[in-house]
Amino acid sequence: MSSPSYVAAADGTRLAVHRRGSGPAVLCVPGGPGRASAYLDGLGGLDATFSLLLLDNRGTGQSELPAERDSLAFPRLADDVDAVRLALGLDQPVVLAHSAGCLVAMAWAAAHPAVAAALVLVTPPGRRTGDDMYDLPAIRAARAGEPWYAEAAEALALLESGDLPGGVRRELERAARPFAYGRWDDAAQAHAASTESQMSLRAWAGFDPGPSYDYAPMLAALAAVTCPVLVVVGERDGLTGAVVGERVAARFANARCVTIAGAGHYPWVDEPEAFAGAVREFLDSA
């Protein structure tokens, strides 16, 4: 990845933005939470026709880790999105977010409902916002014939059972990774292998604003977002499921959901042509 440009957030934190490809700009917000933007790569070839501006959220990648832990929570990350937008002269940006980054993009859009030209929300999570993920057991069970299934299923059960020491949690997350991909092939394994080197444990731990945070006002404000919105989910996403996409899309006035057949939580890895084609078609008509 090329050397980033830097933007100063409102509190002075230096934020790294990596430019990849050429064409109309798309500001990309990674997930994890706490993962550097490198895992987004070229988003299945979108960088052939768009200039992807890959933001390392504060505390990740080449962005600065602030001293104030509270500033790592996703509502503050949403403020960083607007700081980047303004610094780069993106009056009406296209914003693409993945996984936990969708919460950041949603918080930003809720605070600035008439600013975005378009939003693309890729495999948004539902657990924090109370969106149903009832299809997860069936999606996971459909993989029972695969050689990695027994170990991965046991790891998931332990992860969901409660608090665990950090080292144990990381080992279990490693074992459960096949559920995040539509196929556990060489491309998926190579992508998964980069996870730990791209993660910031401090950013991961600080992402959640805590039990006192009320999601309801932010979610209600999404109805006033004026731009077109595309929600993309993977048919075989064993982390967040697929039905959550329709629930997220329903929060917006002008949104639709697309399901990528055969894809998991990282659809540009599993089905790059289908993913890039769906996003490109949407942006061409937005």
Domain locations along the chain: 5-141+180-285
Confidence of residue 128 (pLDDT cuts 50, 70, 90): confident
pLDDT above 80 (res 132): no
pLDDT number for residue 1: 62
Global pTM?
Answer: 0.96
35/18 Cα distance (integer angstroms)? 14
- Axis-axis angle for helices 74-87, 101-111 (nearest 10): 70
Taking phi first (over 0 means left), then psi (-120 to 50 degrees means alpha), and beta for anything else, what does residue 89 get? left
pLDDT digits over 135-150, tens only?
999 999 999 999 999 9
pLDDT digits over 54-73, tens only?
999 999 999 999 988 889 99
Confidence of residue 49 (pLDDT cuts 50, 70, 90): very high
Give the mean pLDDT of 243-268. Answer: 97
Asked if residue 229 lies in contact with residue 121, where contact means CB atoms within 8 angstroms, the answer is: yes
pLDDT above 80 (res 163): no
Give the mean pLDDT of 72-82. Answer: 97
Give the mean pLDDT of 90-101. Answer: 97
Can you read off the two tokens belonging to residue 285?
């008509």
pLDDT digits over 16-46, tens only?
999 999 999 999 999 999 999 999 999 999 9
pLDDT number for residue 247: 94
pLDDT number for residue 133: 83
Can you read off the two tokens belonging to residue 96?
């693409």
Residue 169 burial by CB count (10 A; 0-12/13-18/19+): exposed, middle or buried?
middle
65/188 Cα distance (integer angstroms)? 29
Find residue 54's DSSP bridge partners: 18, 28
pLDDT above 80 (res 98): yes
For domain 5-141+180-285, the CATH class is: alpha beta
168 to 9, 165, 249: CA distances (angstroms): 35, 5, 36
CA atoms within a 13 Å half-sphere pointing along the CA-CB vector of 127: 8
Give the mean pLDDT of 88-99. Answer: 97
